[in-house]
Structure 1
Amino acid sequence: MSNPRDRNPRDPRRPGATGRSGSRPSKRPQREPRRPADGSRVRPGAAGAGRGSAARPARRAGERPRRRPAPPPPPPPLLRRTFRAGDPAKRIKIGGVIIVVIMMLFAGRLTQIQGIDADTYAEAAANLRLQTIDIPTLRGQITDVNGNPFALSVEVRTVFVDPEEVKEEERDQLVDELVTRFDLDEGEVAAKVDATPSRYQVVAHRVSPGDWQEMRDLGLSGVGAEVDYERVYPEETGAADLVGFVGSEGHGLEGLEGYLDETLSGEAGKRQVEVGSDGTQIPMAGGLVREPEPGQDVRLTLDRDLQWFAQRALAERVEELEAEGGSVIVTNTDHEILAMADYPSYSQNDISATGPEEWSNGAVAETFEPGSTNKVITLAAALEEGLTTPETVYTVPYSLQYYDRTFRNSTNNGTQRLTVNGIMAQSSNVGTIKIADEVGRGTLYNFMKDFGLGQPTGLALPGEEAGILTDPDDWWGTQLPSVSIGHGLSVNATQMALVYATVANGGVHVEPRLVAGTVDPEGEFTPAGEPEKTRVVSEETAEQLALMLEAVTGDGGTAPQARIDGYRVAGKTGTANRLDPETGAYNENDYTATFAGFAPADDPELIVQVVLHSPRGTIYGGEAAGPVFNDIMSFALKTMKVPPTGTEPPAIRLFEEEDDS
């Protein structure tokens, strides 16, 4: 018999063995594994011998083995030690400690909020109910050169009610007074007076200070007013298209109101209001954050009387000729704009009845082919380059073949021998084309640029169109003759007015000015900066051109309608077909008629440009636009107190056979 101590300690047959090293001896007796009925031995371990195991039945042939579910993962060591099911006292103790810590954190935070930082949090909570709103400021005026207003702001009142302050016994009287005095709807007023919960209900806008004073003197409770401003445009100034208007927010939307908005608007003040539970604003005493700063006045170079007359004369002629519209520019030799009229126009006090087409300032926004008014640049280039003289004679037939196109004069006078003076006076297309051939496309283009075509005028007005002047490298066969007589390019009315102002100014182009300066709230005037000046042609060339243009209004010229008694007048007519926007081709029955000129011709003071779009019946510049030029120039000479001319015009030879006597 073997010694029990010599047996394997893991041998299950060893007394007290459990299959674990170091475990205490089992008190349960060991069972002999049950043998199968066939008498075969059971393999060790096959029956699941060991602690906690049970004998598994033998698997039948073809039977799939059943999977044993995986045991759950063991808990982490810390939890295994701390929260063992058999140790509830320890769990309660630790849970209690955690709860105490959380309560201490809450208590500390409450102490900070309600004690240490109480004022800070109270202020933050109050600020959630406050909003900062703008206080309207006084918008600057737009005036003429003499201080007469084209646009100004007047003080008005916004009337409101505080329903909580309205006394019950005064309620009906308050409603009646508001309805009667301010022409309001009774139902709407009553609803605002009875509104709850509310402390601020606006009932009337743009109330005059006098009307509000009468209302306040009644001493009724719960009604108040705030200062506001209303933009007002004096009627019949004739400057609506130029000046423009402001929107409901008080900012400029069109014209000078929009362009000069930053200067005119000033800086709004700031005020804090408390927002009620229903979102209404409750004005606060002492809520002023910043005082409003009024805007600056803008003084223009315009003359109000001249502006009014120019607008009226233009409107009458447009209506008389059933034209689509037109523009008038009046300037002096310093290129200061004295009047800028456009028609059709609109009322700035009733903009809802009109639209963008009426608001547009056609004097800078509408382009057209200048026609014969452009010939002054062609002849200026030839004279300045020394290619010809006013007395040079040209053979001028009625028509001229130029590549694949035939150019003709407006009147068939056969073949004539005309001087350069005569070519200008009779507005000869063929004669001008012959001179342009000598000038050349590059030189002609440069002179046109120097006179200001194909580029902005410098006025920087909203909606301005610079026109079209193509590069000479892109000119095709007939472009040179076309451009020389004012076709194949486009300009706006102001550009052509400045061309004639340059001639009248002795050949010096001056950057045009419309703003004379600004006036601050203290009344101090700050003039605009000095304009840039550029010499385009010599003084001698300018004088020669002035004599040629004076011949246009003479007996042999195309515009005797432009003459003014007592004054020598220089000018030029223009007639050009208009393009059909749908086809892009010229409309043979649609024209632009123009006249541009200055007076007195021997000592120029004033320049007037008249443009009529699509006149009916009378289409030529001299006949259609000449009379408007005459009316406006006559009024301007008197308004500006320009003395009559003291000299007689010299004899100007137009034909070769004429002598100088």
Structure 2
Amino acid sequence: MSIKRLLRTFKVQNYWQRQGLIKYIFVFLFLGFAFRIVSVNQLDAGKVSLQEKGVKQTINKLTETARRGDILDRNGEILASSLILKKVNLDPTKVQLEYIPKLATALNMSNKKLSKILAKKRKIGSRYLIIKKNLMLTDPIISNIVKLQKEKIKDRTKVCRIKKKKDKVELLDRALSFLKVKEIKITYSNIKSCQKEKIDGLVLQEDTYRSYPKGASLAPLLGRTHRDSGIETEFNHVLAGQDGKKQLKYNQNSRGSYFIPEIISTLKHGQDIKLTIDSKIQYHAYTALEKSVKKHAADSGSAIILAANGEVLAMANYPADDPNDRSVYNAENYRNRVLSDKVEPGSTMKPFTMVLALDQNKITATADELIDVSKSIGHIKSD
């Protein structure tokens, strides 16, 4: 028999058996896929179906922060206001070591100090570090950070990384391992790879700062945010406003818009509050009170100035802290003694007695004047 005829015989030998085997394989695969499709549709993720879970994963919630209202005096002078600032947030686990010198220069810090801070945070696995905060929009640090983030490819720093690569195994060794004749130990080699990258782990975020331009003179009256005192707390529901919340939800039935914004709560900025206080009169009252308390070595002092119609023009207390200094908080120095301290009825009537005596020219308002009460006080004689 010739070789050509032998090959032809080999090709047609068991043809129907081989064809039947292939058909069985395809049928088996089809049944397997069909079973998997049914099981996935009926699969539950806890108490939620897999389909519902997939829809929930497409939901994205957005929050718009409400701006806190200002506190003004009777003339429109700002007594408390929220400034829009910036802060620099770092992820110590992502900032490349090669970028530390550039980052330190941008932050106006020493290279050594920044390296030490990042190493300490990286050691404990911290991924959140506010390295700079309360930055005014005109601060050079902000422009430095933006410039560093937007570096062109040619100006970027070359970052080197050590990667582990699986060592190549010879074909013969793999065959012997497959046949379980020889056991192969998998080994890895360290390969150094260097390429230019953008700085990573650096974010410039928006921040707000509550500013009190008049300092300590109004601190006990206004109080401070996140502290239980003053106008800031009493009228927080008016000043704070309401954050706006939206939910972006995937909608496959919508036309042209796959994510329909659904408003959960409407954004409402805080309202301004206008007081009857005159900030200039308040300042002079506070300054005079401070001098008087220090002169007489008193523990504290309070003063209130009213207009003819009863409106409060000034309400001063001393001692008081500067609310712009967040490093110090003494609750006693934020206590509004005019409203909170108890005063005996007799003491409250003394100013009226003095005013009556002045009005009837019984006494004069001179600094050196003494009133002799050794014999009598008015019509009441002493024993």
Q: TM-score, normalised by structure 2?
A: 0.58
Q: Is the 8 A contact 1:178 1:189 kept in 2?
A: no
What secondary structure does 1:238 align onto? helix
Report matched runs for 1:431-446 at 5 Å.
Answer: none
Q: 2 CA distance for matches of 1:232 and 1:318?
A: 27
Q: Is the 8 A contact 1:303 1:339 kept in 2?
A: yes
> CA 1:163 to 1:348, structure 2 compared with 1: closer, same or farther past 3 Å?
closer
Which has the bigger relative contact order, CA under 8 A and spacing at least 6? 2
Q: Is the 8 A contact 1:140 1:153 kept in 2?
A: yes
- Choose from 274, 294, 313 the match for 1:319: 294
Whose helix proportion is higher, 1 or 2? Answer: 2
User: Structure 1, unaligned stretches of length 5 or more?
Assistant: 1-103, 273-285, 378-423, 426-548, 563-617, 624-653, 656-661
- Please name the residue that 1:150 is paired with: 79
> CA 1:263 to 1:328, structure 2 compared with 1: closer, same or farther past 3 Å?
same
What secondary structure does 1:245 align onto? coil
- Choose from 133, 136, 146 the match for 1:208: 136
Q: 2 CA distance for matches of 1:150 and 1:182?
A: 40
- Please name the residue that 1:141 is paired with: 70
> CA 1:350 to 1:144, structure 2 compared with 1: closer, same or farther past 3 Å?
same
- Show CA shifts across 1:388-409 (max 9, x none): xxxxxxxxxxxxxxxxxxxxxx
- Please name the residue that 2:224 is paired with: 245
Q: 2 CA distance for matches of 1:209 and 1:182?
A: 24
- Please name the residue that 2:303 is paired with: 328
Equivalent residue letter for 1:308? Y
> CA 1:357 to 1:161, structure 2 compared with 1: closer, same or farther past 3 Å?
closer
- Show CA shifts across 1:48-96 (max 9, x none): xxxxxxxxxxxxxxxxxxxxxxxxxxxxxxxxxxxxxxxxxxxxxxxxx
Equivalent residue letter for 2:77? N
- Please name the residue that 2:28 is paired with: none
Q: 2 CA distance for matches of 1:266 and 1:192?
A: 36
Q: Is the 8 A contact 1:155 1:227 kept in 2?
A: yes
Q: 1 CA distance for matches of 2:77 and 2:69?
A: 13
Report matched runs for 1:218-233 at 5 Å.
Answer: 218=148, 219-220=150-151, 221-222=199-200, 223-233=202-212
- Please name the residue that 1:299 is paired with: 274
What is the CA distance between 1:266 and its match in structure 2? Answer: 1.5
1:366 paired with 2:294, answer no
What is the CA distance between 1:111 and its match in structure 2? Answer: 2.9
What is the CA distance between 1:208 and its match in structure 2? Answer: 2.1
> CA 1:204 to 1:136, structure 2 compared with 1: closer, same or farther past 3 Å?
farther
> CA 1:341 to 1:372, structure 2 compared with 1: closer, same or farther past 3 Å?
closer
Q: Is the 8 A contact 1:267 1:292 kept in 2?
A: yes
1:124 paired with 2:124, answer no
- Choose from 234, 238, 244 the match for 1:259: 234
What secondary structure does 1:224 align onto? strand
Residues paired across the two proteins, number: 273
- Show CA shifts across 1:597-624 (max 9, x none): xxxxxxxxxxxxxxxxxxxxx9x9x99x
Report matched runs for 1:478-627 at 5 Å.
Answer: 549-557=355-363, 560-561=365-366
What is the CA distance between 1:226 and its match in structure 2? Answer: 1.9
Q: Is the 8 A contact 1:233 1:348 kept in 2?
A: yes
Q: Is the 8 A contact 2:100 2:114 kept in 1?
A: no
What secondary structure does 1:258 align onto? helix
- Show CA shifts across 1:219-265 (max 9, x none): 35332222120011124461111111113xxxx53211111111111
What is the CA distance between 1:210 and its match in structure 2? Answer: 2.3
> CA 1:367 to 1:133, structure 2 compared with 1: closer, same or farther past 3 Å?
farther
> CA 1:207 to 1:136, structure 2 compared with 1: closer, same or farther past 3 Å?
farther
Give identity over the alignment, percent.
Answer: 26
Q: 1 CA distance for matches of 2:109 and 2:264?
A: 36
Equivalent residue letter for 2:365? P
What secondary structure does 2:109 align onto? helix
Equivalent residue letter for 1:342? N
> CA 1:314 to 1:110, structure 2 compared with 1: closer, same or farther past 3 Å?
same
Q: 1 CA distance for matches of 2:242 and 2:112?
A: 33
Equivalent residue letter for 1:552? L
What is the CA distance between 1:291 and its match in structure 2? Answer: 7.4
- Show CA shifts across 1:524-581 (max 9, x none): xxxxxxxxxxxxxxxxxxxxxxxxx454355413x5249xxxxxxxxxxxxxxxxxxx
Q: 2 CA distance for matches of 1:268 and 1:182?
A: 40
Q: 2 CA distance for matches of 1:180 and 1:303?
A: 43
What is the CA distance between 1:360 and its match in structure 2? Answer: 0.8
- Choose from 152, 160, 172 the match for 2:89: 160
User: Structure 2, unaligned stretches of length 5 or more?
Assistant: 1-33, 152-198, 248-260, 373-377
> CA 1:171 to 1:560, structure 2 compared with 1: closer, same or farther past 3 Å?
closer
Q: Is the 8 A contact 1:244 1:258 kept in 2?
A: yes
What is the CA distance between 1:358 and its match in structure 2? Answer: 1.8
- Please name the residue that 1:350 is paired with: 325
Q: TM-score, normalised by structure 1?
A: 0.35
- Choose from 341, 347, 350 the match for 2:316: 341
Equivalent residue letter for 2:282? Q
> CA 1:294 to 1:332, structure 2 compared with 1: closer, same or farther past 3 Å?
same
> CA 1:208 to 1:262, structure 2 compared with 1: closer, same or farther past 3 Å?
same
